[in-house]
Structure 1
């Protein structure tokens, strides 16, 4: 039998989410095409101005699938330490990206696509954030709803 850690309180979970957003380099990104074909890929990101900033080729399904509603789902972590984020995506051309955002992306990931026409940035603004490790944390997993932090 596996012994589980005690459930974290909401403040600790929120802090753990922010730690992951600052330190992790990759996030799983889920989108769907207009005809419902799912796409799940890992992309590098930086936490910037309360949003996740990612980069991908403009012709990749992830960028193409950004619909007018912009809905996107992202996850950090493995199955025993999940951060699930639902957000609204906006496609941003490298020439339109604020210099501070591009500099933050390049500094964290050692990669700069601002001058590459084949690439675009995706800025995801979270509206739902959930975090849990085990079944004992499922009841309190909602940390953000409708764009407002609950904690």
Structure 2
């Protein structure tokens, strides 16, 4: 992509963002501890019922940080076609995960963690979402605000 291409409409950006959320596998997840120590890790994800569902060991900083703060930032894509999500976060035990969500995660990654006690699922619900490619798309990049789609 170059700035010579016209900026996408908000509707096109939404569709492109949804396509990326459905098809991509990896995201960068940023959290902070209660005393402000940042953590940035890549995690697999599945777009599940309008949320990003991930899994990690319960002792990893990302899972630990979600508990006191309940907030995270997530980046999907690369720097020239990014979907940036601000989200509320919750930790879900494998036994408490809805079967269809666990099935979706297991199907996408051929990895079912529901019976592994040292692992938890993390569900990130977008409160804000922005998508852009180049500088000509800085304007209008906000697609979700206050938890609602704008397009």
TM-score, normalization: structure 1? 0.96
Unaligned runs of 5+ in 2: none
Answer whether contact 1:4 1:134 (CA < 8 A) is retained.
no
Superimposed CA distance per residue, residues 76-128 of structure 1 (whole angstroms, 9 cap, x where no aligned partner): 11111111000100100000001100000000111111000000000011010
User: After alignment, is 54-63 or 29-38 more displaced?
Assistant: 29-38
**Residues 1:90 and 2:90 are matched in the alignment:** yes
* Whole-angstrom CA distance in 2 between matches of 1:143 and 1:43: 23
* Whole-angstrom CA distance in 2 between matches of 1:69 and 1:62: 11
* Whole-angstrom CA distance in 2 between matches of 1:22 and 1:11: 17
Query: How far 1:5 sits from its partner (Å)?
Result: 1.8
* Whole-angstrom CA distance in 2 between matches of 1:47 and 1:3: 29
Task: Quote the residue 2:22 is aligned against.
Answer: 22
RMSD of aligned residue pairs (Cα, Å): 1.0
Answer whether contact 1:128 1:146 (CA < 8 A) is retained.
yes
Answer whether contact 1:71 1:88 (CA < 8 A) is retained.
yes
Query: How far 1:35 sits from its partner (Å)?
Result: 1.6
Structure 1 stretches of 4+ moved >6 Å: none
TM-score, normalization: structure 2? 0.96
Answer whether contact 2:67 2:91 (CA < 8 A) is retained.
no
* Whole-angstrom CA distance in 2 between matches of 1:129 and 1:28: 14
Task: Quote the residue 2:81 is aligned against.
Answer: 81
Matches within 5 A, 1:39-118: 39-118=39-118
Query: How far 1:34 sits from its partner (Å)?
Result: 1.4
